[in-house]
Chains A and B, each alone.
Chain A
Amino acid sequence: MKILVTVKEVAEAEDDFEIDGLDIDDRYLEYDLNEWDEYAIEEAVQIKEDGECDVVSVTIGPERAEETIRMALAKGVDRAIRVWDDDIAATDTLDPATKADVLAAVVAEEDPDLVLTGVQAGDDSFGATGVALAETIGFEWGAVVNALDLDADAGVGNVHRELEGGIEELTEIQLPAVLTIQTGINEPRYASLRGIRQAQSKPLDVSTLSDLGLDAEALESPLRRTAMYEPESESDAVVFEGSPEETAVELADLLRDAGVVEG
């Protein structure tokens, strides 16, 4: 059994930032492993610990992303693939359909039984790559999975999908499948020192589009970002000013006036 986990390094903006053209100025961005992908990695590693299987991670990202990929390796991923070349670097928008095409080429080479992705990326929040990938490669799928019980012998995954309003859908999904993993499905581990040492010697291969049998045409997208701006604040909140002691007294008075505390 082989599991492919797609991971993405995402940018998070600081509270105070400036926009430079069509993106937030790089000085105000911090890069980290996508939160949802942390749970997807943990899920894959837990499945590996329950039985025999290989866990391979794949990311589309620049050299900088190797830091986060090494963390995945340190947590128990066996091998990593990073897809990148000059054509990808020169592309403004990698839309979900494009990413699905690139990842489909990796799936064709790796032939996994299960693909785990995060529900969405924390930066652009499209939430579409996993299901688009499933359709592209002809796998079954399940989106927003927050419990997974794999029955490899029967060739199914029994999942819970987290619907709105505290309701979960129980679904049986035929393998091979792509599952998009929701936060909270498990408790992602911290990498151990031993794991971090071992990660240094685990394979991390770089593939170009041409290695995958694709060319720059695969990157053409009908989607183009034409503007980015800060939304106008709709806040009309009364802001209590002063030291914590002063603002706390005002808040205490407010709570008494509202009748939700005694006094």
Chain B
Amino acid sequence: MSDVLAVAEHRQGELRDVSFELVTAGRQIADQQGGELHLAVIGGDAETFATELNLDGVSVIHTVDAGEEFNHDVYTQVTEQLFEELQPGTLLLPNSVNGLDYAPAVASRLDVPLVTDAIGIERDGETEVTREMYGSKVETTIEIDSDAVAVSIRPAEWAAAEAAGDADVQAFDADIDESAVGSTVTGFEEVAGGDVDISEAEFLVSIGRGIEEEDNLPLIEDLVEATDATLSSSRPIVDNGWLPKNRQVGQSGKVVTPDVYLAIGISGAVQHVAGMKGSDTIVAINTDPNAPIMDLADYAIVDDLFDVVPQLIDALE
């Protein structure tokens, strides 16, 4: 029960970063208990992925021939069978969109408790998982009273494992019940296209919920015009239909790395931060000095954007 089983993630022929982070997290937990880290690569070019994931601290990599792309029914069945075979104490999964699509099903089928979106895990006798609540305003500790646990980890929270290893690569012959596969992935679509590519911009003026109403957009458009900046936004603005999808910065939108990112009325939810933390200089205008965006900001104005932005336009003209 001291072993860890982590399941890698890939999409359209490439391993996703979280796969390498799962190795780091998995190694940590295995070390705390003197166990081994097993890694599963399900579907796709599993052999090639296994070579890329043959990293220091991984004992065994199980490759499973199971279709090209992720399918939750297949992943659920394969993960269940690997778990039954290996009997690990910890099942580690990614808290990615696809992780959300099979982790709860696997946990339910195995009758193993699941804690999602972990940002810290301690498995030293007791199992303690650290996770956030109330939109990142607080952190909590969850104790799990069970010998076997399933935990999904937040992407980009652990460092990616890099050092080469000498894991055993073994093919796992999963028995997939096709009659229980009730979903079919028919394709992929890129949705953030269009005339503007915000990831190319040097200066982004980016707006969030703080803008309150669509009627307040012209104020920001004046600023964009005065500065020759490019306009982008956080998710709620796009959800509301105030700006098109190609303006969205974040996990489900674009990743941007401008020279200056001016965040106006953006609190800095983790999904947003994933898309802009690589910016050279981050400036935040926000009424809340404790907003998560302040953890990233190089410069900040703690004030009402409706007071500051008109003054900023004046100061620039």
Known pairs A224-B142, A260-B227; A136 contacts B108 (CB<8 A): yes
Interface residues of A in 171-229 (CB under 8 A from B): 171-174, 177, 180, 183-184, 187, 221-229
Question: Chain A contacts of B115 at CB under 8 A?
Answer: 223
Interface residues of B in 70-114 (CB under 8 A from A): 70, 72-73, 76, 95-98, 100-105, 107-109, 113-114
In the complex the two chains form, what is the Cα distance from A15 to B289 in whole Å? Answer: 9
Question: Chain B contacts of A142 at CB under 8 A?
Answer: 72, 101, 183
Interface residue tally of chain B, by bracket? 35 or more
Interface presence of B165 (CB below 8 A): no
Give the interface segment out of B35-43, B60-68, B186-194: B186-194
Interface residues of A in 139-195 (CB under 8 A from B): 140-144, 160-174, 177, 180, 183-184, 187
In the complex the two chains form, what is the Cα distance from A259 to B128 in whole Å? Answer: 48
Partner of A144, one of B101, B139, B189: B101
A26 nearest CB across to chain B (Å) = 13
Q: Are B143 and A96 in contact (CB under 8 A)?
A: no
Question: Chain B contacts of A247 at CB under 8 A?
Answer: 301, 303, 308, 311
> Considering only CB atoms, which chain A residue lies closest to B155 in the complex?
A164
In the complex the two chains form, what is the Cα distance from A170 to B297 in whole Å? Answer: 37
Contact with A along B263-294 (1 / 0, CB 8 A): 00000000000000000010110011111001
Known pairs A164-B252, A237-B294, A247-B303; A128 contacts B103 (CB<8 A): yes
Partner of B100, one of A119, A122, A231, A259: A119
Question: Chain B contacts of A86 at CB under 8 A?
Answer: none
Partner of B108, one of A135, A164, A177: A135
Question: Chain B contacts of A49 at CB under 8 A?
Answer: none
Q: Are B100 and A173 in contact (CB under 8 A)?
A: no
Partner of B260, one of A16, A128, A260: A260
Q: Are A229 and B138 in contact (CB under 8 A)?
A: yes
Give the interface segment out of B23-31, B48-56, B129-137, B168-176: B129-137
Known pairs A100-B108, A172-B186; A167 contacts B297 (CB<8 A): no
In the complex the two chains form, what is the Cα distance from A143 to B152 in whole Å? Answer: 15
Q: Are B185 and A169 in contact (CB under 8 A)?
A: yes
Known pairs A140-B182, A234-B295, A244-B308; A19 contacts B227 (CB<8 A): no
Interface presence of A73 (CB below 8 A): no
Partner of A171, one of B109, B183, B190, B240: B183
Interface of chain A: mostly helix, strand, loop or mixed? mixed
Question: Chain A contacts of B19 at CB under 8 A?
Answer: none
B268 nearest CB across to chain A (Å) = 11
Q: Are A140 and B183 in contact (CB under 8 A)?
A: yes
Question: Chain A contacts of B96 at CB under 8 A?
Answer: 164
Q: Are A239 and B189 in contact (CB under 8 A)?
A: no
Q: Are A127 and B189 in contact (CB under 8 A)?
A: no
Q: Are B255 and A165 in contact (CB under 8 A)?
A: yes
> Considering only CB atoms, which chain A residue lies closest to B316 in the complex?
A252
Partner of B133, one of A123, A136, A223, A248: A123
> Considering only CB atoms, which chain A residue lies closest to B282 in the complex?
A237
In the complex the two chains form, what is the Cα distance from A119 to B287 in whole Å? Answer: 29
Which A residues fall within an 8 A CB radius of B? 11-13, 15-17, 19, 22, 24, 95-97, 100, 119, 122-132, 134-136, 140-144, 160-174, 177, 180, 183-184, 187, 221-231, 233-235, 237-240, 244-245, 247-249, 251-252, 254-255, 258-263
Q: Please give me the 3 A-B residue pairs with the lowest Cβ-Cβ distance, nearest first.
A: A166-B192, A248-B311, A184-B239
